[in-house]
Amino acid sequence: MHDTLYKRITVTPAIPASTVALLAVIVANAALAFGPWFVRVSDTGPVASAFWRITLAAPMLVAAASRGDGDP
């Protein structure tokens, strides 16, 4: 009787997850490629630049690690 009241609607994403993952890999690869260039144009030395890159990235890495479910 209540089958007629509700219709099941399936929503498919506009962009497949594999396409989003591929785009994320391409953007990450481009960002890594610009790393040495940013070290060269910075006013600090390479060690100080590496320290600040790790320090600024650490909160995002911690957030990503804490979202995991613990399975390897």
Q: Which residues contact 49 (CB under 8 A, 6 or more apart)?
A: 38, 39, 42
Enumerate residue ranges in the chain where pLDDT < 50.
Answer: none
- Residue corresponding to tokens 């630049």: 49
Per-residue confidence (pLDDT) for residue 55, from 0 to 100: 93
pTM for this prediction: 0.48
Q: Give the per-residue pLDDT at 1.
A: 52
* pLDDT recorded at residue 27: 93
pLDDT of residue 69: 66
Rounded Cα gap, residues 54 and 42, in angstroms: 15
Which helix (DSSP H) or strand (DSSP E) does residue 60 occupy?
helix 46-67
